[in-house]
């Protein structure tokens, strides 16, 4: 277990391989940042910007299977 209560590795539900913890990084203006989870469908305002309620954002972590490559996302 790591400090936030999620294990560093778990077993794959498909093939039983080892799933390594990671996260999805997005690139915006040459800066990488972890992807966040937001409830609901994406909605744009009249400015073309997506409406985001920052209080509702959650950190997303991803476990990737080293054998079959499956990724499981969690928003804790
Ligand atoms: Zn697997």
State the distance from the centre of ligand 1 to the C-alpha of 18, rounded, in angstroms: 7
State the distance from the centre of ligand 1 to the C-alpha of 23, rounded, in angstroms: 17
CB 42 within 8 A of CB 50: yes
Residue 1 falls within a domain, yes or no? no
User: Which residue's entry shows tokens 């009249």?
Assistant: 46
State the distance from the centre of ligand 1 to the C-alpha of 41, rounded, in angstroms: 29
Q: Comparing C-alpha atoms, which of 26, 15, 32 is closest to residue 72?
A: 15
Q: What is the pTM of this model?
A: 0.76
- Write out pLDDT tens, residues 18-56: 999 999 999 989 999 999 999 999 999 999 999 999 999
Distance between CA atoms of residues 29 and 26, nearest Å = 10
Q: Which domain holds residue 63?
A: 9-75
Distance between CA atoms of residues 31 and 43, nearest Å = 24
Residue 4 falls within a domain, yes or no? no
Distance between CA atoms of residues 44 and 30, nearest Å = 23
Total domains in the fold of the chain: 1
Residue 37 falls within a domain, yes or no? yes
Categorize the per-residue pLDDT at 9 as very low, low, confident or very high, splitting at 50, 70 and 90. confident
State the distance from the centre of ligand 1 to the C-alpha of 19, rounded, in angstroms: 7
């Amino acid at each position: 277990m790591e400090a936030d209560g999620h294990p560093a590795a778990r077993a794959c539900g498909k093939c039983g391989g080892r799933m390594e913890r990671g996260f999805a990084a997005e690139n915006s203006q040459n800066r990488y940042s972890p992807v966040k989870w937001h409830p609901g469908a994406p909605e744009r305002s009249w400015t073309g910007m997506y409406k985001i309620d920052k209080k509702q954002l959650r950190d997303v972590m991803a476990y990737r299977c080293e054998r079959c490559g499956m990724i499981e996302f969690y928003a804790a």
